[in-house]
């Protein structure tokens, strides 16, 4: 059992008790690619995840140092009992292209500090070499077992009594990198039709929802130019690895003349991958688009040079740190001559920002991919979401939030919008636009005097609509009239 210190502590006045702010929910931590230790049950050796620089050097600099990671023909056919995932990575690690991986110890510690008992936390280790679809099914089964067991734990009912609505525990998934894709696959109703309803929130940290161009660079290693042995080793074991193919970009990223298109299975074959695995990955992602993540909050790394598009010449990938953009019509943005325009939105060094910044709530942080799950600010965000209580709100338990705006404002003068009935910025959005829907502006929300507030200015007279959207999918609106200063003053 966790020990968070005395459950009750006297306030400064010595009159009231302070109770530790702990969630009653069950939490599942899902690591990213190469984030789980792997054990070979045949040779009885750990083949990925040993501690120490010496192990890393041996693994990457011996010509057969990573050979145990190669999928066997039997494993490719679905017989996957040889390798067992034992635990989340406890040590810093490294791999070519993906660079450094920070251990998950700080993330685990942060999560355990927010729950009523360590039994509420499941560390879901998985064989990241396998298809995301396979690991998603295993996660769905494990999450259901975990939630059932936690609801029967004595600490669960004790925690419920300290929450506003005293509801039974629900699931919160905290997922890094590929772990977000595995979580989305687990929430596919074909596995467990009730799992999404039993999930309060999903936090994704640097998840490549639309894939990563860097996966193509890994598959293409050694074509055209000599490369170091570690890079060649990674390419060799990745060429037939379903998990790596599941990370291939699923957006229009291939610059082909004056157009941009998606990768095809033949493209993947030409750069060193496997057509069948590429097609399977594309089919899988196509179905996953319709899977919703309840209470989704995404942390996206930013400000790092990141591959966003590529060209292929004679089987050699040339990655680019920029990409094309599309209008809402689907047409690509072009200059007056009709040539493509390219934009650099950067990212976390592995996943470009637009691939990770998916969902109703996004926190951008200037971090590299391997550190997204260990950075102090990211861990603080994780803790805040885990500790969120679910307030009952107005009478009858009405959803949404309260919205307060002035009924009349002066053009050019700042005015305040206040939201009530919500206790978190998670998933909350607010905007103002004229009633024709033009000149819409998103508003920056923050705390002030106990409320979530925003300040804004309109530049022309007219009728404006303030729109607030909450994480539960409800929209609240209110109109406000703006006039030139002095035109609506009272007269005797």
Q: How many residues does the chain have?
A: 492
Residue 130: predicted pLDDT: 97
Domain limits, CATH 2.60.40.10, in the chain: 398-483
d(CA 222, CA 125): 31
Residue 488: pLDDT above 80? no
122-158 pLDDT, tens per residue? 999 999 999 999 999 999 999 999 999 999 999 999 9
CATH superfamily of 1-390: Alpha/Beta hydrolase fold, catalytic domain (3.40.50.1820)
d(CA 102, CA 273): 28
Q: Which residues pair with 348 in a beta bridge?
A: 304
Is residue 45 within 8 A of residue 114, CB to CB? The reply is: no
Average of per-residue pLDDT across 42-50: 92
3-class DSSP assignment, residue 20 = coil
Residue 366: predicted pLDDT: 77
Residue 397: pLDDT above 80? no
Is residue 124 within 8 A of residue 142, CB to CB? The reply is: yes
Average of per-residue pLDDT across 421-431: 82
Residue 395: predicted pLDDT: 31
Residue 377: pLDDT above 50? yes
Residue 472: predicted pLDDT: 66
Domain limits, CATH 3.40.50.1820, in the chain: 1-390
Confidence class of residue 489 from pLDDT cuts 50, 70 and 90? low
Cβ neighbors of 485 (< 8 A, separation 6 or more) are: 410, 411, 412, 413
Query: Which carries the bigger pLDDT value, residue 487 or residue 378?
Result: 378
Q: Say if residue 176 is exposed, middle or buried (CB neighbours under 10 Å; 0-12, 13-18, 19+).
A: buried
Is residue 156 within 8 A of residue 116, CB to CB? The reply is: yes
Nearest to 385 by CA among 153, 186, 228, 199: 199
Residue 16: predicted pLDDT: 59
Is residue 320 within 8 A of residue 311, CB to CB? The reply is: yes
Nearest to 419 by CA among 363, 462, 478: 478
Asked which of 135-139, 343-347, 403-407, 434-438 is least confident by mean pLDDT, the reply is 434-438
Residue 404: predicted pLDDT: 82
Query: Is the domain 398-483 a CATH 1.10.3720.10 member?
Result: no
Q: What is the mean pLDDT of the chain?
A: 87
Confidence class of residue 339 from pLDDT cuts 50, 70 and 90? very high
Average of per-residue pLDDT across 20-44: 95
Residue 482: predicted pLDDT: 81
Please state the pTM of the whole predicted model: 0.77
């Amino acid at each position: 059992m966790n020990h968070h210190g005395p459950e009750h502590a006297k306030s400064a006045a010595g009159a009231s008790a302070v109770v530790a702010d702990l969630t009653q929910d069950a939490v599942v931590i899902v690591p990213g690619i190469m984030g789980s230790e792997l054990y070979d049950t045949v040779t009885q050796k750990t083949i990925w995840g040993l501690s120490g620089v010496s192990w890393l050097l041996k693994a990457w600099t011996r010509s057969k140092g990573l050979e145990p990671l190669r999928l066997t023909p039997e494993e490719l056919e679905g017989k996957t009992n040889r390798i067992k995932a034992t635990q989340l990575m406890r040590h810093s690690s490294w791999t070519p292209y993906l660079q450094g991986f920070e251990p998950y110890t700080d993330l685990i510690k942060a999560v355990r500090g927010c729950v009523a008992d360590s039994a509420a936390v499941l560390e879901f280790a998985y064989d990241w070499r396998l298809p995301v679809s396979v690991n998603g099914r295993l996660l769905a089964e494990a999450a259901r077992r975990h939630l059932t067991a936690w609801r029967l734990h004595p600490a669960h009912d004790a925690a419920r009594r300290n929450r506003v609505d005293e509801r039974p525990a629900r699931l919160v998934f905290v997922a890094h990198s590929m772990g977000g894709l595995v979580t989305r696959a687990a929430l596919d109703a074909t596995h467990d039709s009730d799992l999404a309803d039993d999930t309060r929130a999903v936090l994704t940290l640097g998840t490549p929802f639309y894939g990563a161009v860097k996966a193509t660079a890994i598959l293409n290693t050694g074509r055209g130019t000599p490369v170091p042995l570690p890079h060649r080793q990674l390419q060799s074991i990745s060429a037939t690895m379903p998990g790596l193919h599941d990370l291939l970009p699923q957006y229009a990223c291939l610059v082909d003349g004056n157009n941009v298109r998606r990768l095809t299975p033949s493209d993947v074959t030409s750069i060193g991958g496997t057509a069948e695995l590429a097609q399977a990955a594309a089919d899988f992602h196509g179905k996953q688009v319709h899977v919703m993540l309840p209470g989704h909050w995404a942390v996206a790394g930013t400000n790092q040079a990141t591959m966003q598009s590529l060209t292929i010449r004679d089987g050699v990938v040339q990655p680019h740190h920029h990409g094309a953009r599309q209008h809402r019509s689907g047409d690509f943005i072009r200059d007056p001559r009709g040539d493509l325009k390219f934009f650099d939105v950067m990212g976390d060094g592995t996943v470009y920002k637009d691939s990770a910044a998916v969902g109703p709530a996004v926190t951008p942080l200037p971090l590299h991919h391997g550190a997204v799950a260990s950075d102090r600010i990211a861990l603080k965000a994780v803790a805040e979401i885990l500790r969120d209580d679910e307030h009952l709100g107005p009478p009858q338990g009405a959803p949404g939030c309260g919205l307060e705006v002035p009924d009349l404002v002066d053009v050019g003068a700042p005015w305040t919008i206040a939201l009530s009935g919500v206790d978190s910025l998670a998933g909350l959005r607010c905007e103002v636009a004229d009633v024709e829907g033009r000149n819409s502006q998103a508003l920056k929300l923050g705390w002030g005097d106990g409320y979530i507030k925003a300040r804004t200015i309109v530049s022309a007279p007219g009728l404006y609509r303030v729109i607030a959207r909450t994480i539960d999918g409800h929209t609240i609106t209110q109109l406000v009239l703006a006039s030139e200063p002095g035109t609506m003053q009272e007269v005797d």
